[in-house]
C-alpha cells in the first residue's frame, strides 16, 4: 500500500502530504484519525487535531509555528492560519551520547586524491587566479581567456551555434560552419594532472569598510589554502584596502607544512598592463609545470571534508534529501572525516537539539553567541529569520522559517558537534562543524569552500545550477519530478524515499559511493560540466 501522508515524529500534531490529497480522503497517522476537509497539495501539511488560535504547531518533534485562527482536523495548514514560532533555547546542560552508524563496509575504502604537505587531500588539482580588488577583474578575465584556450581547458559555448543559426536566418544566409556542443577550442589538454585553472572575480577589496577587506582577505586565504588548490596567482592594483600583506597574514595563520606557491603581481609597481600580464603568465606557467608533477594516490575516507548545503528547498527536503546528506555526514564523521553544516538563518528553531549535541560548553556557547548576534543584526535591519523562506519555499510547503530550518538541520545527521566556525574560519577539528554563513546559496557555498570543504553536497527540491570554482558540488534532488525535469543539473535523486522504494540508509550509502567517484576524478558533477563556478563573498551584512 502506498503511503499518501507521513507524521515525522511521535509528538507532531500535523501530517505531511506525500502526494496530493483530495477532500474526503481518510488518514490514520500517529493515533490521529480523520478526513481531509480541503485539498492538500503534495509537500504541504494538514492538521491532525483541532487547533485553537494560539496553539503550537509541532513538526520534527519541536515547535515550528503557531496557529493564528482555529483550525479543524484534516484542514490544510497555510499562511492564513499559521505564523512562525520557535522553542526557546538554552545553554548546554546534558552529555550527548552518539550511536555511530555501521562503517564496516567503508573502513578499507579509499578515493584517489591529491595529497598536500599539510595533510589535506584534494579531490581536484587546480591553479587559482584571483584579484585583491575589483579593479583587476578585467585583467583576470584576460588571463582566463588566454590560459583556457591555450591549455585546452576552454569549452565551446553550446549556445553559440544556436545564435549563429538565428543570425543566418535573419540575414537569409546559409550557416556553413557547425561546431559540436562539446568541442574544445584547443585540441588537447596540455597538463594531464591539472584539473583546471580557476579564475575568481568579485566586487570587493576597496570602497567598503576595513572589516569587509579583512573578511575578504581571510576568505581568499582559505581558497589559496584549499586542498584542491596547488598554487595561486594574485593580481593587485596596489592602493586598495584589501592589501596583499593582509592576505599573507591570514594565510600564515592557517597554513601548515610547506607553503604553496603564491605569485603576487601588483599593477602599480609593474607599470603597463602588458608588463603585468606577461609577468603573471610567465610565473603562472612555471607554477603549472610544477603542479602537474602531483598525481592522484589512494587516500582514506577520513580525508573527506563534506560541505552540507541546501537551496531551492521544498516540503520534501527534510524528509528525503537532507536526511540522506545527514546519513552521509554521519558515515564520514564515523570514519574520522569531517562535515561542515552551514546557513545559520536556516537553523532557527533547530538550535536546542544542536546545542545538546555540542561536545562542551565552549562550543555550544560560541554557537549561541553567533546565532544571537546574527538574529539581532537581522532585526536591527528591519528583517528577521522569520522572513527567510522564499516564495518558492512557501509555494512548496515551507511556510515558516522553523519548518524550513528543522528540515535543513537534518543535513547534519546525528553526530556530536565538535566545533563551531565563524565565517572564514578554517576547519581545524575533525567531526561535525557548524559554520556561520547566510542562507544565500552562493554566499554559503563560497564560505564552505573557504573553510576547507573538498566536496559539497547540495540538496534541492526546486532545482538550482549553483556550483563552486574549487570544490565539486554534488546536486541532490528531493523528488523524482525534479530529477526528470532538470536532469542536466541533478547528480543524485532521493525521490525513492518519498515513494517508499528507498530508505535513508541505502540512499546515503549510494550517495557515498558517488562521492568517492567524484573525489577520485572519475565523475564530473553537473555543475562542473556546465561551468557553474559561482563565487560571492559575504560582506557580513544581513543576508538571509
Convert the pLDDT of each residue in 45-88 to its tens digit: 999 999 999 999 999 999 999 999 999 999 999 999 999 888 88
The CA-atom distances, in angstroms, between 281 and each of 150, 234, 537 are 12, 11, 26
pLDDT of residue 183: 44
**Separation of alpha carbons 277 and 388, rounded Å:** 43
**Separation of alpha carbons 467 and 458, rounded Å:** 9
Map grid coordinates 551520547 to a residue. Answer: 97
pLDDT of residue 534: 97
pLDDT of residue 216: 97
CA–centroid distance for 215 within its chain: 19
The answer to whether the CB of 341 falls within 8 A of the CB of 326 is no
Q: How many helices (H) and strands (E) does the chain have?
A: 16, 22
For 380, the grid coordinates are 536591527
**Separation of alpha carbons 433 and 337, rounded Å:** 11
For the chain, residues with pLDDT lower than 70 are: 1-2, 166-167, 170, 173-188, 384, 386-388, 541-544
pLDDT of residue 184: 42
Which residues are CB-contacts of 315 (< 8 A; sequence separation ≥ 6)? Answer: 16, 42, 43, 44, 45, 396, 397, 398, 461
**Separation of alpha carbons 196 and 440, rounded Å:** 26
Residue 198 CA neighbour count, 13 Å, CB half: 29
pLDDT of residue 541: 65
**Separation of alpha carbons 190 and 259, rounded Å:** 25
Rounded to 5 degrees, φ, ψ at 117 are -65, -20
Most distant CA atoms of the chain, gap in Å: 78
DSSP 8-state class, residue 62:
E
Rounded to 5 degrees, φ, ψ at 309 are -140, 150
The answer to whether the CB of 477 falls within 8 A of the CB of 461 is yes
Helix or strand or coil: residue 11? Answer: coil
**Separation of alpha carbons 453 and 475, rounded Å:** 15
The answer to whether the CB of 292 falls within 8 A of the CB of 197 is no
Residue 499 CA neighbour count, 13 Å, CB half: 11
**Closest listed residue to residue 424, CA positions, set 250, 228, 242:** 250
pTM of the model: 0.92
pLDDT of residue 543: 65
**Separation of alpha carbons 538 and 518, rounded Å:** 27
Give kind and range of the element (H or E) at residue 449.
helix 441-450
Amino acid at each position: 500500500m502506498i503511503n499518501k501522508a507521513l507524521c515525522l515524529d511521535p509528538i507532531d500534531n500535523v501530517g505531511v502530504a506525500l502526494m496530493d490529497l483530495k477532500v474526503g480522503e481518510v488518514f490514520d497517522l500517529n493515533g490521529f484519525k480523520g478526513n481531509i476537509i480541503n485539498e492538500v497539495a503534495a509537500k504541504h501539511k494538514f492538521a491532525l487535531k483541532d487547533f485553537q488560535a494560539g496553539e503550537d504547531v509541532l513538526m520534527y518533534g519541536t515547535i515550528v509555528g503557531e496557529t493564528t485562527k482555529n483550525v479543524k482536523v484534516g484542514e490544510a495548514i497555510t499562511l492564513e492560519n499559521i505564523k512562525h514560532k520557535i522553542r526557546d533555547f538554552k545553554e548546554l546542560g546534558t552529555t550527548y551520547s552518539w550511536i555511530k552508524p555501521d562503517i564496516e563496509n567503508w573502513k578499507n575504502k579509499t578515493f584517489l586524491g591529491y595529497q598536500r604537505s599539510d595533510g589535506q587531500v584534494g579531490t581536484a588539482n587546480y591553479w587559482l587566479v584571483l584579484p585583491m580588488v575589483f579593479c583587476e577583474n578585467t585583467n583576470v578575465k584576460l588571463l582566463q581567456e588566454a590560459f583556457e584556450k591555450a591549455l585546452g581547458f576552454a569549452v565551446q559555448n553550446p549556445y553559440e551555434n544556436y545564435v549563429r543559426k538565428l543570425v543566418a536566418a535573419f540575414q537569409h544566409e546559409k550557416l556553413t560552419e557547425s561546431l559540436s556542443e562539446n568541442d574544445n577550442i584547443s585540441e588537447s589538454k596540455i597538463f594531464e594532472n591539472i584539473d583546471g585553472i580557476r579564475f575568481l572575480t568579485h566586487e570587493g577589496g576597496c570602497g567598503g569598510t576595513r572589516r569587509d577587506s579583512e573578511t575578504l582577505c581571510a576568505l581568499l586565504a582559505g581558497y589559496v589554502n584549499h586542498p584542491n588548490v596547488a598554487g595561486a596567482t594574485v593580481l593587485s592594483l596596489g592602493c586598495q584596502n584589501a592589501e596583499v600583506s593582509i592576505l599573507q597574514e591570514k594565510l600564515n595563520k592557517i597554513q601548515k607544512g610547506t607553503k604553496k606557491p603564491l605569485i603576487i603581481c601588483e599593477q602599480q609597481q609593474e607599470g603597463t598592463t602588458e608588463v603585468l600580464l606577461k609577468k603573471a603568465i610567465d610565473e603562472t606557467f612555471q607554477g603549472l609545470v610544477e603542479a602537474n608533477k602531483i598525481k592522484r594516490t589512494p587516500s582514506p575516507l577520513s580525508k573527506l571534508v563534506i560541505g552540507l548545503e541546501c537551496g531551492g528547498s521544498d516540503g520534501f527536503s527534510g524528509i528525503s534529501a537532507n536526511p540522506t546528506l545527514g546519513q552521509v555526514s554521519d558515515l564520514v564523521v564515523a570514519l574520522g572525516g569531517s562535515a561542515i553544516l552551514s546557513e545559520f538563518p536556516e537553523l532557527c528553531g533547530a538550535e536546542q537539539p544542536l546545542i545538546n549535541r555540542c561536545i562542551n560548553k565552549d562550543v555550544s556557547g560560541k554557537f549561541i553567541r553567533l546565532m544571537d548576534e546574527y538574529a539581532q543584526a537581522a532585526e536591527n535591519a528591519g528583517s528577521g529569520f522569520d522572513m527567510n523562506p522564499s516564495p518558492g519555499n512557501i509555494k512548496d510547503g515551507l511556510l515558516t522559517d522553523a519548518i524550513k530550518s528543522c528540515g535543513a538541520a537534518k543535513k547534519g545527521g546525528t553526530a556530536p558537534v565538535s566545533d563551531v566556525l565563524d565565517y572564514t574560519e578554517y576547519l581545524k577539528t575533525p567531526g561535525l562543524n557548524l559554520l556561520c554563513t547566510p542562507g544565500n546559496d552562493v554566499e554559503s557555498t563560497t564560505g564552505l569552500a573557504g573553510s576547507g570543504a573538498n566536496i559539497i553536497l547540495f540538496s534541492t527540491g526546486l532545482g538550482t545550477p549553483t556550483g563552486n570554482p574549487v570544490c565539486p558540488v554534488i546536486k541532490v534532488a528531493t523528488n523524482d519530478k525534479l530529477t526528470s525535469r532538470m536532469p542536466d543539473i541533478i547528480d543524485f535523486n532521493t525521490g525513492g524515499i518519498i515513494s517508499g522504494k528507498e530508505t535513508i540508509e541505502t540512499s546515503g550509502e549510494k550517495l557515498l559511493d558517488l562521492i568517492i567517484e567524484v573525489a577520485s576524478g572519475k565523475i564530473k558533477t553537473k555543475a562542473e560540466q556546465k561551468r557553474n563556478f559561482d563565487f560571492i563573498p559575504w560582506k557580513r551584512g544581513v543576508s538571509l
